[in-house]
């Protein structure tokens, strides 16, 4: 995707007459050699990006094989059930329920909403 953007930028720059001159590396897109070097740099950048993506993917797969779990940790269902009973009793505030059960406020409200949707 980034390469597509670079190509579009390169095309846009060429269309409106913008030239890229890199003084440190002596690259000038006004010349054929400079244009070729610029394109090669784009290709190398894309290759580098793809290699990084492959290594990340391989690392994630290796971690999964070793038993690593990804994503949000599951909330203990017993704690959610207790929190819902406390909520239904109307004897406890939301703050007391959260502190007593150890679940987050968002988890409590999601459980309440899920239960409401299931009963309707």
Q: Cα–Cα distance between 120 and 118 in angstroms, integer?
A: 6
- Sorted by where each begins, the domain ranges of the chain are 2-65, 77-119
Banded pLDDT at 47 (limits 50, 70, 90): very high
Burial classification of residue 18, based on how many CB atoms lie within 10 Å of its CB (0-12 exposed, 13-18 middle, 19 or more buried) = exposed
* Residue 1, pLDDT score: 46
Banded pLDDT at 120 (limits 50, 70, 90): confident
* Residue 11, pLDDT score: 73
User: pTM (2 decimals)?
Assistant: 0.52
Q: Cα–Cα distance between 40 and 116 in angstroms, integer?
A: 58
pLDDT digits (tens, 9 = 90+) for 52-86: 999 999 999 999 999 998 888 888 999 999 999 99
């Amino acid at each position: 995707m980034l390469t597509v953007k670079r190509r579009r930028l390169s095309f846009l720059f060429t269309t409106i007459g913008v030239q890229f001159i890199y003084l440190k590396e002596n690259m000038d897109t006004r010349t054929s050699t400079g244009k070729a070097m610029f394109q090669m740099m784009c290709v190398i950048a894309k290759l580098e990006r793809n290699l990084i993506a492959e290594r990340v993917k391989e690392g994630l797969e290796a971690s999964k094989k070793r038993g690593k779990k990804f994503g949000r940790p599951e909330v203990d269902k017993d704690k959610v059930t207790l929190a819902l009973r406390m909520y239904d009793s109307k004897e406890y505030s939301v703050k007391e329920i959260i502190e007593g059960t150890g679940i987050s406020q968002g988890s409590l409200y999601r459980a309440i909403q899920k239960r409401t949707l299931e009963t309707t």
